[in-house]
Amino acid sequence: MREPVAPITKVFRSVSAADTEGLGATLASRYPPGSQSFTVVYLTGDLGAGKTTLARGFLHAAGTTGPIRSPTYTLLEAYETALGTVAHLDLYRLRDPAELDQLGLRDLALPGHLWLIEWAEKGQGWLPPPDVHVRLTVREGAHEIELQALSAVGIAWLERLNA
Ligand SMILES: Nc1ncnc2c1ncn2[C@@H]1O[C@H](COP(=O)(O)OP(=O)(O)O)[C@@H](O)[C@H]1O
Ligand SMILES: [Mg+2]
């Protein structure tokens, strides 16, 4: 069981895909060093809001070389990175949350593992709760990116963004 915490929220404005990638890269660079936690990030927002763009920035900054494929059809792509194993999920095409069991997620729910989950709302009731919930919204002239930390690990992480 998790200790209850008071969530904290940070809001960013992104005027380009490069900005959103940059925020993903900043999140990777501020990930608490040596973290052995199992960390879960929900990415929610409409199609085209920038969820994959943010994940790509994160994965590149975490040292992934080569292409970052959108897991639109495979639902899951896993990467060995400098920050540990990163599972990038896209649940847009999930028909039944029971399919999540078949992806072998159980083997990725381990210390030193981090999940970035697009369309996490489709796995509601089946996914672990988020440490950080990223909500992307397309607004006039910019995309708004709200980061909400919901656990001690998430708070420690987002507080490091100021550093
Ligand atoms: N501020 C922005 N942040 C992210 N993407 C942007 C932004 N402005 C324009 N774009 C474009 O919007 C698209 C976002 O796509 P993607 O990251 O795949 O979205 P999602 O995964 O949320 O469906 C890309 O084509 C990107 O170039
Ligand atoms: Mg996407």
CA distance 157 to 163: 11
In sequence order, which ranges of the chain are alpha helices (DSSP H)?
A: 17-29, 51-61, 99-102, 152-159
Ligand 1 pocket at CB < 6 A? 14-17, 19-20, 45, 47-53, 118, 143
The pLDDT of 45-64, averaged and rounded, is 97
Residue with the nearest Cα to atom 16 of ligand 1?
50
Band the pLDDT of 1: cuts 50, 70, 90. low
Q: Looking at the domain assignment, is residue 2 inside a domain?
A: no
Number of separate domains in the chain = 1
pLDDT of residue 163: 66
pLDDT of res. 12: 98
CATH number at residue 23: 3.40.50.300
Asked if residue 52 has pLDDT above 90, the reply is yes
In a domain? residue 3:
no
Q: What is the pLDDT of residue 69?
A: 87
What pLDDT does 148 receive?
98
The model's pLDDT over 26-35, given as tens digits with 9 standing for 90+, comes to 999 999 988 8
Is there a domain that residue 1 lies in?
A: no
> What is the residue range of 146's domain?
8-162
pLDDT over 90 (residue 121): yes
If you average pLDDT over every residue of the chain, what do you get? 94
Does 92 reside within a domain? yes
Q: Which residues surround ligand 2, an ion (CB under 5 A)?
A: 51-52, 118
Angle ∠(36,42,45) on CA atoms, nearest 5: 155
Residues with Cβ within 8 Å of 101's Cβ and at least 6 positions away in sequence, in order, are none
Tell me, yes or no, whether 60 lies in a domain. Answer: yes
Residue nearest (by alpha carbon) to ligand 1 atom 17:
50
What's the CA dihedral at 65, 40, 143, 78 to 10 degrees?
30
Residue pLDDT, tens place only, 81-97: 999 999 999 999 999 88
* Residue 10 clears pLDDT 80, i.e. is over it: yes
